[in-house]
Structure 1
Amino acid sequence: MPATELDLTNAHLPDLSSVEIEPTLTAIDLTANRLRTLDPRLLELQGLKSINFRQNLLANVSAWSGSSCKGALEDLEFRDNHLSNIPSLKGFTELRRLECSYNQIRNLLPLADLDSTRLEELYVASNKVTAIAGLSHLTTLTLLELGSNRIRAIEGIDSMTNLNELWLGRNRITKVDGLATLTNLRRISLQSNRLASMAGIEACTALEELYLSHNGISVLEGLSALTGLKILDVSSNRIAEIRHDDLAANTQLEDLWLNDNKLPAIDAAFDKALDPVRHSLTCIYLEGNPCSHDPQYKRKLCNMLPKLKQLDANFL
């Protein structure tokens, strides 16, 4: 039978001259080779549905714009190469997943030409992107990963109402904004940004996981509308108090990460603040706070939280 799959993972090939490329191929994995250019034979494959160039040495893949598989390709991966630009993907109508993380890409504008009305997952993490632009037409996206870039504002994504996951950690964002229409978001990460406030997160009423560690947040806010929240990570911030109604609506919360803040004591006020989550919390992190030096630290928390299974890194 004609071959439909080609797996050359970890073959360490500098090129594909020694490889037979069957015209019937629909899936190719070229992970961990030493390819610097695109073999022209790959561009001629009309039925190709998936191709993976992860961990190669590609610096220019503009030739991919002329591929013959535009009406078939569903999964395209250029992760961990040396790309400075995303190739034009005009005419690629069936693409569902695009992975371009760990390159040197400076902008997303070439994606404005992407014709696919099926794209569900887009990964451009760990690049040099400065702004979210050229993506507003990608309304079928369910996952957007732009972590570890140079983005300063959440913008240009209000049309992505199908988003379930938004990953923007390790950027330069100063304000939670542009999320009002994203009512289907289940997970959002804004870790390691420049936030001083959580205000704006209240629009994401379907959130189940919220990651805000390593910012400058001093007050918990915007949580009253997040009634389905299960994981809240506000570690490594400047929080000195959990007020009595901060978690009032979060009765399904299971994981609460508050380590490396400024919480002073495990006292009656702290006990009252945890009352709404007393019977849902199974994991809490408080190490790195002054309160963690309490000689009765573990005993007090176990008494407060009867379903607790993990305290800091220790399973109970």
Structure 2
Amino acid sequence: MAEPQQAHVELVVKDDDDEKKKAAAEEDSGKHVDPATLICDPNLTLNDGKAYVITKRPESSSGKSHSEAAAADPTPIELVADAEEVDLNHCRVATMANFTVLQKAETIGLRNNMITRIEGISQLVGSLRELELYDNQITRIENLDELVNLEILDISFNRLTKIEGLEKLVNLRKLFLVNNKIEVIENLDTLVNLDTLELGANRIRKIENLGHLSKLTQLYLGKNKIAELENLGQLKALTLLSIQSNRIVSMKTGLEELTELDQLYISHNGLQEIEGLEKNVKLTTLDVAGNRIKRLANIEHLQQLEDFWVNDNQVEDWRNLEAVLGKLPALQTLYLERNPVAADPMYRKKLMLIAPKLRQIDATMCRA
């Protein structure tokens, strides 16, 4: 099969001086660059001091020459040297090699492109605060050591296999590495200012190496291969834990030190019983949907619980529901659909009698 043709786009550096822009335009007006002569390798760039050329693959280039493919998308992407926010999402950008020109950029968005390597931004030391590389083809975290002021980094939906190259990013607050091929939580010890860590949809089997993240408030570990709640005790500031779609069969231990926990999402595991929440009295949201729970228990002390998701389980005893739900004065939203009790024709009416303050049962709001 023939390789897809590649078109090219110029990244032009703008200058605020109108006279300079005018002179440059007049000088360049007499020049013509044949797109067929431009670089075709998506990892190479051409820099003549005025125009910054990167490779840009067209949406469809079957049967077209380089010149025809380039002509099909003639509009250049302009890099404004003084821009504080750079948005190049879904532009088929294949390289970052010339991004050093963005000396004032605070935010760079490169979502949904064709970038294979992190490069060209190591000189953006003083300005860059947020870098989004979501949905590219990056295989390694590298060349970020100089970006000591970076606060938000998103390299989700790439091809990473290891957490690395982040040791110098001591001001990082939010790190998103969703949907990669990461197997081990590691190399995060120096990120002491991290408050949000998203590692969902990877290949992680063990919760570990998080003890130094004392400021972490939100931890997302859903859709991995984790079998045990462990090594969470030092995350005293944690308010949200999402560990859905893993292999956990017991929650008896592991959560007792998380006294600030406000939201717990542990749906779609193998739980048979709700337990181990004696110290988590600040919980307002509890999601245990999609498990194997037959009876509600050990939640009567959760006096601040507002949202309780227990749908897709095996709850069948109305007397059990009355004994437990009747002791949750703050309960406003309850999901019980696809449990045996939901087959009762008086299902909604019975629940409203048990918990009069309910505002929503399953996906339907309650009538006043």
Q: Same fold (TM over 0.5)?
A: yes
Residue in 1 that maps onto 2:26: none
Measure the CA separation in 1 of the matches of 2:84 and 2:122. Answer: 13
1:170 to 223, 236, 255: 223
SS of aligned partner of 2:108: strand
Cα displacement (A) at 1:249: 2.1
Cα displacement (A) at 1:215: 0.0
Are 2:332 and 1:275 equivalent residues in the alignment?
no
Are 2:238 and 1:224 equivalent residues in the alignment?
no
Measure the CA separation in 1 of the matches of 2:199 and 2:146. Answer: 24
Distance 1:312 1:20, change over 3 A: closer
Measure the CA separation in 2 of the matches of 1:68 and 1:17. Answer: 28
Measure the CA separation in 2 of the matches of 1:116 and 1:38. Answer: 20
Residue in 2 that maps onto 1:260: 312
- Structure 1 residue ranges without an equivalent (≥5): 4-11
Query: What is the 5 A alignment of 1:1-316?
Result: 2=16, 14=57, 18-40=76-98, 42-61=99-118, 63-64=119-120, 67-112=122-167, 115-198=168-251, 199-243=253-297, 246-267=298-319, 269-277=320-328, 279-316=329-366
Task: Provide the TM-score with structure 1 as the length reference.
Answer: 0.89
Cα displacement (A) at 1:205: 0.8
Cα displacement (A) at 1:18: 3.4
Cα displacement (A) at 1:38: 1.8
Q: Is the 8 A contact 2:122 2:147 kept in 1?
A: no
In structure 2, what residue type is equivalent to 1:211?
A: Y
Task: Provide the TM-score with structure 2 as the length reference.
Answer: 0.77
Residue in 2 that maps onto 1:7: none
Q: Is the 8 A contact 1:224 1:248 kept in 2?
A: no
Measure the CA separation in 1 of the matches of 2:200 and 2:260. Answer: 21
SS of aligned partner of 2:197: strand
SS of aligned partner of 1:300: helix
SS of aligned partner of 1:162: coil
SS of aligned partner of 2:165: helix
Q: Deviations over 1:105-147 (max 9, x none)?
A: 11112223xx232111000001111111111110100100000
Q: Which has the larger radius of gyration?
A: 2
SS of aligned partner of 2:94: coil
Measure the CA separation in 2 of the matches of 1:33 and 1:26. Answer: 19
Cα displacement (A) at 1:13: 5.3
Distance 1:13 1:88, change over 3 A: closer
Cα displacement (A) at 1:202: 2.1
Q: Is the 8 A contact 1:225 1:249 kept in 2?
A: no
In structure 2, what residue type is equivalent to 1:35?
A: V
Q: Is the 8 A contact 2:207 2:230 kept in 1?
A: yes
Distance 1:315 1:103, change over 3 A: same
> How many residues are aligned here?
299
In structure 2, what residue type is equivalent to 1:247?
A: I
In structure 1, what residue type is equivalent to 2:258?
A: C
SS of aligned partner of 1:298: helix
Measure the CA separation in 2 of the matches of 1:286 and 1:77. Answer: 38
In structure 2, what residue type is equivalent to 1:89?
A: L
In structure 2, what residue type is equivalent to 1:285?
A: Y
Measure the CA separation in 1 of the matches of 2:112 and 2:193. Answer: 28
Measure the CA separation in 2 of the matches of 1:144 and 1:308. Answer: 33
In structure 1, what residue type is equivalent to 2:16?
A: P
In structure 2, what residue type is equivalent to 1:94?
A: N
Q: Is the 8 A contact 1:45 1:67 kept in 2?
A: no
Measure the CA separation in 2 of the matches of 1:17 and 1:294. Answer: 62
SS of aligned partner of 1:276: coil
SS of aligned partner of 2:327: helix
Measure the CA separation in 1 of the matches of 2:79 and 2:362. Answer: 53
Measure the CA separation in 2 of the matches of 1:272 and 1:100. Answer: 47
Identity of aligned residues (%): 35
